[in-house]
Amino acid sequence: MGVRGDAKYAQVANQNSGSDTVIDMQDVWKTYPNGTHALKGVSVQIDRSEFVYVVGPSGAGKSTFMKLMYREEVPTKGQISVNGFNLGKLKQRNIPLLRRNIGVIFQDYRLLPKLTAYENVAFAMEVIEAPRKQMKKRVMEVLDLVGLKSKANREPAHLSGGEQQRVAIARAIVNNPSVIVADEPTGNLDPETSWGIMQLLDEINFRGTTIVMATHNKEIVNTMRKRVLAIEDGNVVRDQLRGEYGYEF
Amino acid sequence: MNFNTLLRHFREGTKNVFRNGWMSIASIMSIIVSLSLLGVALLLVLNLDRAADEADKQVEISVYLNLNIDQAERDKVSQEIQDMPEVQNVTFISKKDGLETMRQTLGDAMVKGYEETGTNPLPDTFKVQVIEATTVPFVADKISALNGVNPDGPIYDVDYGKGTAERLFQWTQTIRVVGIVLVIALGVMAMFLIANTIKVTIIARRREIAIMKLVGATNRFIRWPFFIEGVLIGLTGSGITLAILLYGYSRLEVAASGWTSALFTLIPLTDVWMWFSILLVGLGFLIGAWGSTISIRKFLKV
């Protein structure tokens, strides 16, 4: 399943089978053209099956940190490797190969508005040219997992925020990615819905998928204890297993 | 790309036309408006051009021979005219034929007197048609010059409606130029109108394209359904335009059959419909394909 067996993938991704490190950042700097220093020499390693919260004040570099992982941004300096892809050397045309093995989840869901829940999830499988039969089975399977089997034919506009985020999660996991990058996935949701989403992510993580999640939700971080990376002013100021949120807002 | 994926692109492209309901209708409308203008202009210009051709063809050179020349001399002059590269054909009208024509156009009374006395004042005449109407004055001069090489001076007069013919040529030339300019101008206008529609459509799609890229879609994967959607819209728009124009033209043809004017007749639909259809549908295809290709290009760099 998925693209990891793909010959092209294997060619581009230089996987170190011996190592358990999925994300490896070495002295990563990011300066935007307007002169903002978003990251100032960040070095982080995240292993397979880890669940990591990325916390910190707004504008501290969290978003840049997340974007670097799925190659929406390129570092100004330093080395990043994700799933064995050396992102500094990754060619433009090979970016899709990287992204097919990373599930991304956003605060604003980012579903295709004119497609149904089913079609949104299926899109990710169409992209990797999965056989249709297999696609149907797998899409229904993940929709069932996120509890939306009965709403498969609804368009995003006819789903609640929590349901839309569940569709986004289904889309993110449908190809069995090794990493999920979630940028404030509960940011637009009420506390109860947020907990539902967190349970889902926890379950996905339990099955072996690495999850990196940026969040502002103190309650979640302090209750569902995981590794915490705190970023302030472009630097990782705290890296703590089973850590606390550590901010008052 | 495997066959299933290709099928998927066709399916998605078709679905997109319906998913984007109003946008598709707006695009189709803008294609109908543009192509209708262009099509009407094209048909008008074609007909004017043909009318101009017909008018030009009316211009022929009459070569009146002297009354006293013999058969051998006449054949020699005929051959010399025939040998000129500009000349299409030469028709000989004998004195007798000339009188007959006169009877038909002017009536028995006019020719009766001549027939009774056995005199025929009409000269033997060559009617000369040229290949390119505008060369008429030049050819007429060349024919007059034949008197110089034939010592007897067999030619009495050469006439082609000097002055009138030149004015006619000027008019028909103007009509052709104006027609071409009109078609080009409308073509450019149509392009802008359609480009603008596409721009609006695509700005709405910008976000969708960005999302597709985040999920790992390649540019080609994103482009295909857009391309098919564009082509379908182009073909639909041109198809509707074609139906309207062909129907309108056939009605016009029916109405025009009552006209008595010999100078201006419509080109029959049976002569034009085929290549006109190919042209219009071809244009629709190109507009759709070109529109979808250029318009998503810049949004693919996400």
Q: SS3 string of B31-67?
A: HHHHHHHHHHHHHHHHHHHHHHHHHHHHCCEEEEECC
Same domain (yes/no): B192, B286: yes
Of A59-73, B95-109, B201-215, B288-302, give the range with the top mean pLDDT: A59-73
Strands A51-55 and A210-214: parallel
Instruction: With CA atoms as reference, report the closest residue to B219 among B286, B296, B290.
Output: B296
Whole-number average pLDDT of chain A:
91
Task: List CB contacts (< 8 A) between A95 and chain B.
Answer: 213
Distances (CA, A) of A2 to A7, A105, A125, A175, A205: 12, 18, 8, 5, 17
Task: List CB contacts (< 8 A) between A114 and chain B.
Answer: 16, 19-20, 208
Same domain (yes/no): B233, B191: yes
Tokens of B248: 């309108």
Tokens of B298: 């810049």
Which residue out of A83, A101, A129 would a mutagenesis test of the B interface target, given it has the greatest number of B Cβ atoms within 10 Å?
A129
Task: List CB contacts (< 8 A) between A111 and chain B.
Answer: 211
Which residue out of A98, A127, A169 would a mutagenesis test of the B interface target, given it has the greatest number of B Cβ atoms within 10 Å?
A127
Residues near A19 by Cβ (< 8 Å), separated by ≥ 6? none
Q: Would the pLDDT of B290 be above 80?
A: yes
Q: Would the pLDDT of B284 be above 80?
A: yes
Same domain (yes/no): B11, B72: no
| Per-residue pLDDT band at A19 (split at 50, 70, 90) | low
Same domain (yes/no): B122, B251: no
| Per-residue pLDDT band at A15 (split at 50, 70, 90) | low
Same domain (yes/no): B111, B175: no
> Which of B4, B213, B221 has the CB atom closest to A132's CB atom?
B4
Say whether residue B10 is in contact with chain A using an 8 A CB cutoff. no
Q: Would the pLDDT of B201 be above 80?
A: no
| Mean pLDDT computed over A111-120 | 95
Q: What is the pLDDT of residue B268?
A: 84
Same domain (yes/no): B174, B38: yes
Same domain (yes/no): B173, B272: yes
Same domain (yes/no): B106, B27: no
Helix (H, G, I), strand (E, B) or coil at A147: coil
Same domain (yes/no): B41, B89: no
Same domain (yes/no): B107, B121: yes
Pairwise CA distance, residues B245 & A65, whole Å: 60
Pairwise CA distance, residues B180 & B295, whole Å: 29
DSSP string, chain B: --HHHHHHHHHHHHHHHHHTHHHHHHHHHHHHHHHHHHHHHHHHHHHHHHHHHHHHHH--EEEEEPTT--HHHHHHHHHHHHTSTTEEEEEEE-HHHHHHHHHHHH-HHHHHHHHHHT---PPPEEEEEESSGGGHHHHHHHHHTHHHHSTT--EEEEES-TTHHHHHHHHHHHHHHHHHHHHHHHHHHHHHHHHHHHHHHHHHHHHHHHHHHHTT--HHHHHHHHHHHHHHHHHHHHHHHHHHHHHHHHHHHHHHTT---SS--PPPHHHHHHHHHHHHHHHHHHHHHHHHHHHHHGGG--
**Of B160, B181, B208, which marks where a domain is finished?**
B160
**Of B140, B160, B180, which marks where a domain is finished?**
B160
The answer to whether the CB atoms of A96 and B20 lie below 8 A apart is no
The answer to whether the CB atoms of A127 and B8 lie below 8 A apart is no
**Of B160, B180, B203, which marks where a domain is finished?**
B160
The answer to whether the CB atoms of B8 and A126 lie below 8 A apart is yes
What is the value of ipTM here, to two decimals?
0.89
The nearest alpha carbon in chain A to B21 belongs to: A114
Q: What is the pLDDT of residue A4?
A: 45
User: In A128-212, which residue ranges form alpha helices assigned H by DSSP?
Assistant: 132-145, 161-173, 191-206
Which residue out of A123, A135, A175 would a mutagenesis test of the B interface target, given it has the greatest number of B Cβ atoms within 10 Å?
A123
For B5-37, write each residue's pLDDT tens digit. Answer: 899 999 998 998 898 888 889 889 888 988 898
Q: What is the pLDDT of residue A150?
A: 97
Q: What is the pLDDT of residue A14?
A: 59
Q: Looking at the 3D structure of chain B, how many domains does it have?
A: 2
> Which of B1, B16, B218 has the CB atom closest to A96's CB atom?
B218
Domain that holds residue B70: 60-160
Q: How far apart are the first and last CA of chain B?
A: 22
B161: left (phi over 0), alpha (psi -120 to 50) or beta: left
Half-sphere exposure in the Cβ direction for A210 (13 Å, CA): 19
Pairwise CA distance, residues B212 & B222, whole Å: 7
Supply the pTM of this predicted model. Answer: 0.75
| Across A33-42, A161-170, B90-99, least confident range | B90-99
Q: What is the pLDDT of residue A154?
A: 97
Task: List CB contacts (< 8 A) between B22 and chain A.
Answer: none
For A130-176, write each residue's pLDDT tens digit. Answer: 998 999 999 999 999 999 999 999 999 999 999 999 999 999 999 99
Same domain (yes/no): B291, B197: yes
CATH number at residue B127: 3.30.70.3040
DSSP A149: G
What b/e string do you get for B10-25 counting C-beta neighbours within 10 Å, with b at 16 or more?
eebbeebbebbeebbe
Residues near A242 by Cβ (< 8 Å), separated by ≥ 6? A225, A226, A227
Cβ-based burial of A227 (10 A; exposed 0-12, middle 13-18, buried ≥19): middle
Same domain (yes/no): B293, B175: yes
- Is residue B83 within 8 Å of residue B146, measured between CB atoms? no
